[in-house]
A and B are shown apart, each in its own frame.
Chain A
Amino acid sequence: METNLLDRMLDTYLAGKTHLTVTLQNKIRVSGRIRAFDSYVIIMDGPKREIVYRHAVSSLCPTIASDQKRRPLSPRPEPAKTSPPRPPQTAPQKSRSPQPQPLIASGEEKSLNNTLKDGLLKWMQEQKAAK
């Protein structure tokens, strides 16, 4: 039985610059690369730099495999070359529930919002007219 398996794994991920998803006890996921770690904390290099207490960590899991697996499933019209796709940062519930939202790029989302707004306006006008 290894006495410090976690240290070894963290070392491997640090050396390999592996993109990691760290799941915390409250199911929040923190993803990014490990920048540094000691016996109490892990510093993650994600979109933001985060310091994670090791006593709050539930599991570590490299992200690359899951990304490759997920990519063919969701045909995202994202410029994947310039910015590597990241799993959602602080909203794991959202990512788990099968919502169509991630499929919509930000631009489309805006237009969708607009169409929604238009529809709503139209409907309100119709209601008014009916009265």
Chain B
Amino acid sequence: MEVQKEESKQTIEPQFLSQALASGITLRIGQMNKSEHEGVVRDIGRYELNLEENGKLITILKQEIAYLTAPHPLLATTEPQPVSVQSGLAHTDSAPVNRPNIQQEFLDKAIREGQLLTLYLLSGQRFKAVIEAYDNFTLLLKEGGKQHLYYKHAVTTINR
């Protein structure tokens, strides 16, 4: 079960992107420097992706992406997250021994309770949403019927 959980932590972002690729949906991509792109995902690489915008193929590096927005939910988060409730002691995943994983606790609690979170980005932008899931690098958020994938590398703080 531990292994499976770890797996699910890894796969939010790839799942989201491959769903977007498969459904040919128009994604809105916000970049770290506040510029935005809107287009259809054509290729997915490990560190970059190709977006077709107005007939042009643009290569965007993931490290420069702050968030991706899908007009409707792409991923159904059916995972019963409460599994990790009893993980007060089970936090010893791969982290150093006996060290609580604060981020995991915070996010798990927010998911369980459906808290409205406020994200502050490196670019200074603020964003309020409910968190649905997360993996090592991204947060899956829900807001106004849209689904957003925020890269943690773009986030400075998360407030409850």
* Residues of A in contact with B (beta carbons under 8 Å apart): 1-6, 9, 23, 25-27, 57-62, 65-66, 69
**Which B residues, 24 to 46, have Cβ-Cβ distances below 8 Å to chain A?**
31-33, 35, 37, 43-46
Does B107 reach chain A (CB closer than 8 Å)? no
Question: Chain A interface mostly helix, strand, loop or mixed?
Answer: mixed
Taking a contact as CB atoms closer than 8 A, the residue among A27, A65, A69 that contacts B35 in the complex is: A27
Is B46's CB under 8 angstroms from A59's CB? no
Report the number of A-B residue pairs with Cβ-Cβ less than 8 Å.
64
Contact of A25 among B32, B43, B49, B54 (CB under 8 A): B32
Chain B residues near A (Cβ < 8 Å): 14, 31-33, 35, 37, 43-50, 54-61, 64
- A3 CB contact (under 8 Å) in B31, B45, B59, B64: B45
Q: Contact at A27–B33, with CB atoms within 8 Å?
A: yes
- Assess the A69–B54 pair: CB atoms within 8 A: yes
Asked whether, in the complex, the Cβ of B55 is within 8 Å of the Cβ of A2, the reply is no
Tell me the bound Cα distance from A98 to B5 in angstroms.
51
Q: Which of A5, A25, A69 contacts B48 (CB 8 A)?
A: A5
Contact check, A6 vs B56: say whether CB atoms are below 8 A apart: no
- Quick check: A25 and B33 within 8 Å, CB to CB? yes
